[in-house]
Structures are given as C-alpha cells and as structure tokens.
Structure 1
C-alpha cells in the first residue's frame, strides 16, 4: 500500500540500542548528571566516590526539585522539564541514559509528594526488555544516583571530578570538600554579553586541546573566531560561556559540538565583532586594512592602524639569518617605503645607499596596510637598476636579470645605481643616480647551487675587502636545504662560507690569494691539534710534498 502522508517516528527497537548512545565514560556520565541537577534547580551537588579492587562506586546527590514519575525518568527522549528549561536549553531526555549498561540505583523525591521512590537497574536492564521494580522510600527532596565504574582508580576519579566541576556554576562537594571552581572567562581581556550568553576575548592563539565553549560546565573545543594583528602584533581569539541562548543547539546526545544552524552563524559573526570591539578599546592597533575595513563594516569604530613600519633592510636569501636588529619608526611624510627586492638587488642597493642621506627614511613595504590613508600617502622607492661599464662593454642588472648577461666576474670601470622615487596617488616620479661599487647577478636556482651561480661586477676600492664581499655573497646566495638527505644547517653554512671567502679573495685579490684563503680555512679547522706554545711552518713544494716544522713561539 502507498501512503498519501507519512511522518517520522521512533522505532520501538531504538531502546534496545540505548547502550550505544554514549561512550559510557565517567566524564560523560558526570557531565550529564550535573546538567540534570542544575536544571532541577539544585543549589548544591554532593559527589561521593569510594574505590576497591574492582573499581569505583560513585554517588551523585542534589537538592533539586526531584522526579515525581520514575517511569518518565527512564523514558528515552522525554525530558520532563518545564517550558522555561525546554525553551532555553533544548533538553533531550537522554542524560540518564549515559548510565546505560551500568548497574545503577536511582532514588528521588519530588516536592509534590511526602515520599520518594527508589529503583535499582541492573546492567542489562536499560533496553526496555524487563520490568524495573520501584518501591516507596522516606527520603529528602532531591535526587541521588549511585553507579559503579569498573577499573576506575581513586586518583583518576578525583581528577575527573575536579575537571568536570571546574567551570560548573553550582557548588559541588566531593568526599566532604568543595571542588574549586573558576570563571570560564576570568582571563579574558574583554567580555561582552550576547543573546543571553557571554563572549570573552583572549590574547594568544587558541590550542586544539583547550576548550573554547563552556555549556554550564560541559566543555567544547570549537574554534569560534580569531584575529591577528600584523607586524608582530597580538593574536586574539574568542571563547563562549553559554547562558540561556536557545538559538544555539548542540548535537545530541553527547553535546560535544554545535548544530550547524542560523544560531551558530550569528555566534561566529558576533565573536568576530567582539574581538574587533576589544581591539578598538586599545590606544593603537595593527590590524590589516582588510580586517580594519571588516570591523568598520560591522559597526565597530576605530582609527587606522598605527603609522609605524620597520626600518628597511635588504632581504637575505635566508630570511631567518638576517644579521640586523629589527627596528620600527613612525612614518611621517618623509618616510619612503621600499619595494621587496630579490637579495641580489636589495643587498647591492643597501650597500650603495649605506651613507646616503635618504637611508634613514627608508621603511619596509607592508602590503597588508595598503588602503590606509597614511600608508598610501607614502612615497615609494623602486625600479632599481645597476649600470655597469667595462671599457666599451655595457651591462644593466635589474630585478628581471642582467642585460646582456654577466658571463663572468667583472672588474668594472664604473657601477652606477639608478632608482626612482615615486608616488602612485600624485603620479610623481623622479629618478636618482648614485655611484656604487658592486652589483650582483644570480642565475635561476642560484640560491641552491652554491657560489658558482653568482656573477659579481665591482669597482675596486678600500672598503670592498674580501670579508665584506664574502658576507654579501652569503646574504645574496646562501639558503640551506632542508632535504632529509642534506647535511645540517651548520655544515652547509660552513661549506658555503668557505667557498664564499675563496671566491671573494679570488675576485678582489686574484687566484693566489684565493688559494691562500682555502688553505687558511683548511688549516683553521685543525688548529685545535697544534701546540699552544709552538709556531708551525707548512711548506708545499711543486711535487705537492708537504713539510711541517715546529719552532718555539717568537723564533
């Protein structure tokens, strides 16, 4: 037969699978029982746990409203809570079934009755296939549930009780002592009320192992929102302390994650806005322009990011090894931001401008600030080229290569630096020229191929000595390989610097000095074996025979 209408139903066989609804962990059980006690209006909860060789017996008691009908307490999906609780928290009527599969005794009395009731449920009594005896009993108003956890040690039980009660809103007395409780948002730098709950803003990154949501003591690990400032600024993330916010629903039965609904979407937007509100309350900030614009679009008013940028230093091939102090300066009208150049161009530019009057005005470009009025007003330095003259030959070295190619190292008659200072908003542009003493060209993949790929054009002078040139070669070329088969960073760097010193000596002083540099590096590696009070003379004849003689120091 084909029905004309249908509706969802719950199969009677569902109750037979109830033992699979929860993991059956002590954390799950205590969380569910504590939530039931809170909903029942309890002002205190008592937990007693006693351990023997087989495990731990746990008794949870409260002074809440109690349960009038024992049958309703064991009715899967029928919470029995009043309209206020049902609207605020969406109880599922499944909490007590976290005990499914465990021998349990439940005792309760409602304020509406002079007597209470008690029922003992065996391990196999949760599937609805047998009757559970209920008898009347004289007992105080409230509910007590006793169950046994096989294999649970006393130490583990005490630790878990402490963790479960840490952010619980009601006092809990465990084995005679009140369990310490904390405010979930105590360490927040900013707290805002939202739809009956509270959003807290914290400094730092959230960790996957740490909870971000507190549902009356039940903790969830769900990323809500995070915002990072730029240029070494702080990171902020949001956490949520849930109160009475019915639009937020948790996935049943364990309530370990949110249901994807409009309430969650609104929460995520509110969390991000709250972070912006916290940042707006500071004197200054370092938000990217896009984040600042997003904050403004959300109605959060704040000034533009602090007009500060790092002092410009030429980029090195290996960023982590930049050998300069990080310094920031305020960016007034005279500041000039520098494009990010490849190391071969940037290092030569930095050397050529080391004594220039404009050097102290140069700051790093920071693309994340593009859009801020103060940032867009800054002049820029770009279009850097080196013009090299050697007799009749002419070469130009720029960001896109060398034209014509530097086929070999060149002792140049002249190296001229040319660059432009321009302003995009006003279309201002002016070319500047300055004498330079060195330029570099690196072939493709040169960073990973050693010093063989670099070509140097230079004008001899007293300041460009082998030590200086070797450091420039390092900054232009050296980038250690992180391949699993590669040597350590220290070994790669040692080998590279040996080659760099040899190349610098050969380029500046000639082949013999390059050989001498290699010999000095080689001998330098074994200085530790030489006597401290002796001089050593090493002689190598054309037959490559090596003679080593010792003498007293000073002879």
Structure 2
C-alpha cells in the first residue's frame, strides 16, 4: 500500500558510504578540524605529530568551548552549532566525518554538563551503527583529536598544515612552533567591504597568476571561483580580485568539502560587486589603458573615469615568423601620429625600409588599436588603409602588394623605379601619399611565398646590397614548419638563408658571385682545420678538386 505520508530521513546505506564524503587527504582533514575549532571560539590551535615505534599520530587541540553532546560528532548532518553560526556559515554537520575510516580518539569538554568526555572511534565503526563508548576525561576545556596517520600523509603533512594555516584567522602552532599566517588580501591595491566580505583588487601581470588560483577565502579555506577581471590594452596590467568571506550567508559553498561555490543569486551579486570594486581601484590609480568598452561599462556603473592615456606604441612591421614579432614598447604621444594596421610581412617589411628613409605620412606611425575606438583622442587620428608598390621595369609599369602578384612577363631582379603608395583615411576623406622604395616583393600565384617563387624587385642604382635583400626577404617570408616530421628551426632557417642568398646574389651580382658565396658558405665552418702557419688553395671543377697547402712565411724580426 502506498503510504499517506513520508518524511525525510538518512538511509542506513548512506552510513556505509561516509568514507566517500571526503577524499581523506591530510589537507582536507586538517582544514575541517581547523574550521570546527574556529566555530568553537578557539583562540589558538595546536597541531603536533608524535611517533610510537612505526606508528604516527596527529594531534589537533583547541581551547574553544568544546562539544556539548558527544552524539553530534557521529550523527550525519547534525552540527550542534548555535543558530548564529548556522545562519552565517551553513555548517553541514559533517566535519568530523572527514575522519571517516580512520582510527580516532576525541576528547572534549561539555559546558552544559561541566565535565570532559572521551570517545574512541575505531576505523571499522564509521560505516556501521555499532555503539561507541563514552567515558569521562579530565580535559578542562576545548577539544583534542588524535588520529592515526597513514604513511601516505607523512610525505606532505607539514606542508599541508602550513597551507591550511596560512590564511586561517586563528593562530596555529606546529609541533610547538608558530606558523606563518598572512592576510588573504595582502598587497591589494584596493580593499572594500560588501555584505560580509572584503574585496581586494590586485594589479597583476598575466604570468603571475592562474585561473586555478584561489579567489575566495572562507576563514582559511581557499577556493577557486570565476570572478570578473579587467585587462588593460597592450602592455597594461590585469586587474583581478580576491574575496575574504567573514559573514556572508548568501555565498554558499558546495558541501561537504567546500571546494567550489554554489552558483546562486548571492554569487551573481558578488561578481557585480567585484566588477565595481575593480573599476574603483582603477579610478584610484588615476590613469589607465582600458578599452573604450570597459571605460563605458565603468561609466554605466557610476564610476566616471578619464579616457585612456593618449599614447600608442610605435609601429614595427610584422615578420612572417610570428615568434619574431614584438611590440616596440616606445610610447608615442604626438597628436599627429598615424595608425598603421597589421599588414602582411610581404608588404610591411619592404615598406618599413622605404619609410625609414622618408616618411610620407606626415606623422609618426603607431600600432592601430581597435580597442580604443570610441575615445575622442583616438577617433580623430589618421589611418593607413592600404599599402602597395608601383614598379617600373623597362617600358612596363605594374603594381604589386601582399595579395597582387606581378605580371607573368615581369622578371625578378633590377628595375628602374619602385614607389611605395599608400591610401590614408582622415576626417572622412581619403588621401594618397607615396615615397621612393629600394625593394618590393610580390607573392607567387599560389601565395606560398617560397624562396624560389616570390617575386623580388630591387631599384637599380640604390645602395641596397644583395645580402641586405636576403635579410629583408627572410623577414618577409620565412617561417618554420612545426610539423612533427620537419627539421629543427635552426636547420630550416640555415637552409632558407643559403637558398635565398644563392638566388638573390645570382640575380643581382651574377652566377659567378652566387657560386663564390655558396662555396664560401660550405667552407665557412671549416676554417679551424687550417694551421696558423699554412694557407690552403682550392681549385674546384666538375672533374674534381685540387688542394694546395703552402707555408706562410714568418714575419721578419724588426
């Protein structure tokens, strides 16, 4: 028959699973015992490790108000804490069950009964309902817990105790020595209180923190939590937050282990408060490099910030090998600066060489930063929209760019004229500017930009050397393959440099010069085999190699 009523209860089979409520690491056990001591009003907690032969015992002693009812320690879900503690912290009534499966002795003072008591809970008693004897004990205050230590705890026990005590609000000793304790919000740039928590805001370099780091501190128990952060543009810092919880029942932790936060309205409102606190910290800093989006968000939250500091980083062209790309770090504040987007290295590298001789843009070139669109000082700047090269070879003139290849009849090598042309946009108008260039490149028809197929044009009569063009071509098109079967980076680079030198020198100086350079490269790493008092002459033909070794005459004495 279906019953008329039902009531909540703990099923007997749940008792048989209590050893799985916690993962039974030393750190988890110590954290739970420290939390119980704090709730009991302890002013100090003493932790010690004693050995008896091959056995080891961990002792945790506090001077709190003790445990009034021994039955509460083995009653799943019954905490025995005051109404005020239950309201503020939501204790689960499972703390002692962190010891489940361990051989434990508990001694405590019962204030209502004005006497001490002792219980020995064998390891086998946790998963049964067998009676546990309670005897009187001379303890006069607080609680003392002794647990037999498994061998796997010994490797990390001292570090676990130090970690559990570091941000705990009550002094802790280890084998009689005071442990180092530290404010969770130490070194914060800004601290404010909000509904029972302290929010600390820190300005960090991205490499100095991890998303896995603790963000919440629950009376010494540190917990990862997804909290808002604000990242400044370019080399600006990251603003992150830590939260110290002291009386915030709306922030709930997943029981029993309290290693993650419950996603509820309380944590949602905390995240809102954290974002506001971060913007207040930035306001106090006086200057910032926020994106225009974040700047507007701060304003919508009632925090009126000035615009981001009005500077940009000087432009450096991208190299084809992304590992070589970097921000210049040079701050440009000139109100006439010109925004330069990230052009492909094939056009950016030779364009930079031309601009270094003569800048046709009327102001210093800076890295374009779309995140600043919306700031008044940024939106009025001129911007380069397009780069291309106009090349004259004989009676033929054509245009090449990173996407526009040379005509089929054009030949790589010397040309009569090269002009760098650019389109600028400023105040709603488009402006064409140009300057003479010494070198231009154009992609092959497959846009593979290989050593052999990339078009190379060099202004006849310029001071550009063949090896200078090789270096420029390397920056413009070389990137190493990271396929698992590819050669090492250095091997790929050496092969590229040798192939590029042979092609460019042959193109600009002739086949004989290219051959001389190739032979020199082949022998360059073998100079050391020649003694200082000898010279080696080599005659190399298709029929073979003839080598002559001659002594070098010693210099005459003065």
For the criterion TM > 0.5, the same-fold answer is yes
Deviation string for 1:199-225 (max 9, x for gaps)?
Answer: 222323423664332211122233433
Distance 2:397 2:21 in 1: 81
Distance 1:48 1:345 in 2: 70
Instruction: Tell me the residue number matched to 2:354.
Output: 352
Q: Distance in 2 between matches of 1:515 and 1:446?
A: 29
Contact 1:460/1:508, CA 8 A, preserved across alignment: no
Distance 1:107 1:433, change over 3 A: closer
Distance in 2 of aligned mates of 1:33 and 1:92: 13
Pairs within 5 Å for 1:46-445: 46-151=46-151, 156-202=156-202, 203-205=204-206, 206-207=209-210, 210-321=213-324, 326-358=328-360, 361-402=364-405, 404-405=407-408, 408-423=411-426, 426-443=427-444
The 10-residue stretch of structure 1 (175-184 or 251-260) with the greater mean CA deviation from structure 2: 175-184
User: Is the alpha carbon distance of 1:174 and 1:517 closer, same or farther for their aligned partners in structure 2, counting shifts above 3 Å?
Assistant: closer
Q: Distance in 1 between matches of 2:229 and 2:446?
A: 38
CA deviation vs aligned residue, 1:123-165 (integer Å, no higher than 9, x gap)? 2222342111223344313222222113267674333322221
The change in CA–CA distance for 1:382 and 1:461 in structure 2 (over 3 A counts) is: farther
Q: 1:152 to 1:470 in 2, by over 3 A?
A: closer
- SS at 1:354's partner residue? helix
Q: Compute the displacement of 1:96 (Å).
A: 0.9
Cα distance in 2, alignment partners of residues 16 and 326 from structure 1 = 65
- Sort the Cα spacing of 1:215 and 1:518 in 2 relative to 1 into closer, same or farther, 3 A: same
What SS class does the counterpart of residue 482 from structure 1 fall into? coil
Does the 8 A contact of 2:536 with 2:549 survive in 1?
Answer: yes
CA separation in 1, counterparts of 2:4 and 2:342?
70
Q: Give, in angstroms, the shift of residue 454 of structure 1.
A: 0.9
The aligned counterpart of 1:42 is 42
1:338-376 C-alpha deviation (Å, 9 max, x unpaired): 122111211221122222245761111122222222111
* Greater Cα offset, 25-34 or 152-161: 152-161
Cα distance in 2, alignment partners of residues 25 and 416 from structure 1: 71
CA gap of 1:319–1:151, structure 2 versus 1, over 3 A, is closer
**Could you give the per-residue CA deviations for residues 164-214 of structure 1, whole angstroms, max 9, x where no partner exists?**
212111112333222221112213232222221122223234236643322
Distance 1:5 1:269, change over 3 A: farther
Structure 1 residues 197 and 55 mapped into 2: Cα distance closer, same or farther (>3 Å)?
farther
SS at match of 2:107: strand
C-alpha distance in 2 between matches for 1:364 and 1:100: 61
Deviates more, 1:221-230 or 1:412-421: 221-230
Name the structure 1 match of 2:461: 461
Query: Does structure 2 conserve the Cα–Cα contact (< 8 Å) formed by 1:310 and 1:327?
Result: yes
Output one character per residue of 1:474-495: Cα deviation in whole Å (capped at 9) or x when no partner. 1111111122222222221111
Q: Secondary structure at the match of 1:526?
A: helix
* Aligned Cα root-mean-square deviation (Å): 2.6
Which stretch of the first structure deviates more once superposed, 1-10 or 283-292?
1-10
C-alpha deviation, 1:385, in angstroms: 2.1
Residue 528 of structure 2 aligns with which residue? 528
Partners of 2:106 and 2:163 lie apart in 1 by 24
Q: 2-side partners of 1:387 and 1:357: how far apart?
A: 17
Q: TM-score normalized by structure 1?
A: 0.92
Task: Confirm or deny: 8 A CA contact 1:41 1:65 kept in the other structure.
Answer: yes
Give distance in 2, aligned partners of 1:444 and 1:268: 53
Relative distance call for 1:444 and 1:209 in structure 2 (3 A) is: farther
How far the C-alpha of 1:65 sits from its partner, in A, is 1.7
Cα offset, 1:510, TM superposition: 2.0
Greater alpha carbon shift after TM alignment, 234-243 vs 91-100? 234-243
Q: Using the TM superposition, give the Cα deviation of residue 277 of structure 1 relative to its aligned residue in structure 2, in angstroms.
A: 2.6
Taking structure 1 as reference, are residues 74 and 373 closer, same or farther at Cα in structure 2, changes over 3 Å only?
same
Deviation at 1:237, TM superposition (A): 2.4
Equivalent pair of 2:360/2:435 in contact (CA under 8 Å): no
With over 3 angstroms needed to count, the CA separation of the structure-2 counterparts of 1:157 and 1:528, relative to structure 1, is same
Query: What is the deviation of 1:69?
Result: 1.7
State the Cα distance separating 1:439 from its structure 2 match. Answer: 1.3
Q: Is the Cα contact below 8 Å between 1:467 and 1:501 reproduced in 2?
A: yes
Aligned CA distance change for structure 1 residues 108 and 287 (closer, same or farther; 3 Å): same
Q: For structure 1, which segment, 200-209 or 523-532, has the greater mean C-alpha deviation from structure 2 after superposition?
A: 200-209
Alpha-carbon distance change, 355 to 7 in structure 1, aligned in 2, over 3 angstroms: farther
**Unaligned segments of structure 1, at least 5 residues:** none
The alpha-carbon deviation at position 89 of structure 1 amounts to: 0.4
Q: Aligned residue for 1:548?
A: 547
1:17-36 alignment to 2 at 5 Å? 17-36=17-36
Structure 1 pair 367/97, CA: closer, same or farther in 2 (3 Å)?
same
- 1:445 to partner: Cα distance: 6.3
Number of aligned positions between the proteins: 550
SS at match of 1:402: coil
Distance in 2 (CA, whole Å) between partners of 1:547 and 1:232 is 60
Q: Secondary structure at the match of 1:48?
A: strand
